[in-house]
Amino acid sequence: MVFLIFVVTISVVVYRAMTPEQRAQSGQRVLASLRQAKDAAMRPRPDLEPFRDALNARTARPLVTPALAVLNAAIFVGMLFGAGALANPDTLVAWGANFGPRTTNGEWWRLVTMTFVHSGLIHLLVNLVALVQVGVLLERLAGHFVVAAVFISSGILASLASLAADPVLVTYGSSGAIFGMYGLLVGAVVWGTIYRSPLTIPFRVLRRLAPAAVVFTIYNTNGDDLQGIAQFAGFVVGLISGLVLTMRVRDQKPPIWQPAAATALAVLIAAAGAVPLRGVADVRPEIERVIAVEVHTSSAYQTALERFRRNRIGAEALILLIDRKIVPELHAARARLEAIDGVPREHKPLVAGAEEYLRLRDESWRLRAEGLRRTNMLKLQQAENAERASLEALQRIAPADRK
């Protein structure tokens, strides 16, 4: 992306430095180059004619691949004109992205819908170019049902892999499903190489797919290891499907029951793999409630303390506020935290930090109440120390925008 911006910037500077005559000549040269490229692309290649004729006889028009591309684009347009920023996790989840606390608590359909959600135009275009290129070829070779089955199966198992790797990470995009399509392509190439026929994919055709495949791979693997796990899972599913479904593709398209069985098997594997992941909890809302308890109780005490300093209330009122309102609220927050089941390992440090805060804060308020009751400055100093330690613990678990 940075390189593209650099190239565009340099081009604009060079264009502005040209005279009108130079601009006209450059424009003519660019148009001539484009015409030559178009003519080269449209020029008949006798060596590819047998392959094209075989594809036309096998499947005249692709249907599934264009439908998948249109669906991806339509959802992106809906997100573009909908509420919320495109890359905002809440927006992505609202449109069907994969998020463990939602997916594993009954919204398993997100394993499929996440493959149609994209966070930006570049993200969408890179995936769509790769999908259309490889999908159209494979659909004409192996049929509509094979492409649909591999796309869905690879997408589901890639989604499940990302969910297992990090259940509280919002994941989205069709890269896992498209890696599955490349796996299907590899399977078709393997059988086509072993058993030569007019439907063996020529090297020239594979070479044309290479640029988009390279861009797609670099763009989608230039991330964290978790993303790579999901994409590898999608590729493996596609490769296995390709080796099974395209074994006799030189003779005929696989019968409908084969891709249907492959999809059913993928769903069963996903269901089995989903059992240990059920009921993942999102503790962040409860952490927010813990922070809100601190804000509320501290504010209430400060208000009462100001009245105490103005001799409007006595120390007994401060003690009653601590004993009857502040400490019970801390106990209720601790009970809610302890009642959460299915805390993922990624959130256990948050829970431990919140428990440490609640313990230290409870201790600080009890020491403060005792110090006020006995007018004991040592107890009040101990309360200050415990309060300081509790707020440090709370700071460690607070969201970044609160720090």
Query: What's the CA gap between 146 and 153, in Å, rounded?
Result: 10
Query: What's the CA gap between 351 and 48, in Å, rounded?
Result: 63
- Calculate the alpha carbon distances from 385 to 21, 41, 365 in Å: 78, 76, 11
Contacts of 260 (CB under 8 A, 6+ apart): 145, 149
According to the model, what pLDDT value does residue 87 have? 84
Q: Which of 258, 252, 221 is nearest to 240 (CA)?
A: 258
Torsion of CA 28, 34, 40, 42, to 10 degrees: -120
Query: What's the CA gap between 135 and 64, in Å, rounded?
Result: 8
- Calculate the alpha carbon distances from 5 to 1, 2, 213 in Å: 6, 5, 22
- Residue position matching structure tokens 């063996």: 200
On the CB side of 377, CA atoms within 13 Å amount to 0
According to the model, what pLDDT value does residue 48 have? 73
Amino acid in the structure at residue 392: E
Residue pair 74/124 in contact (Cβ under 8 Å)? The answer is no
According to the model, what pLDDT value does residue 14 have? 47
User: Any bridge partners for residue 252, and if so which?
Assistant: none
Q: What pTM, to 2 d.p., does this model score?
A: 0.79
DSSP letter for 325, please.
I
Q: Which of 178, 154, 167, 175 is nearest to 107 (CA)?
A: 167
- Mapped onto helix, strand or coil, the DSSP state of residue 391 is helix
Phi and psi angles of residue 98, each rounded to the nearest 5 degrees, phi first? -85, 125
Residue pair 390/365 in contact (Cβ under 8 Å)? The answer is no
DSSP letter for 401, please.
G
Amino acid in the structure at residue 218: I
DSSP letter for 341, please.
-
Query: What's the CA gap between 351 and 285, in Å, rounded?
Result: 11
According to the model, what pLDDT value does residue 38 have? 46
Host H or E run for residue 151 = helix 144-165
Query: What's the CA gap between 94 and 127, in Å, rounded?
Result: 21
Residue-wise DSSP of 248-308: TTTTSPPPTHHHHHHHHHHHHHHHHHHGGGTT----HHHHHHHHHHHHHHHHHHHHHHHHH
Residues of the chain with pLDDT under 50: 1-15, 34, 37-38, 40-43
Query: What's the CA gap between 57 and 137, in Å, rounded?
Result: 13
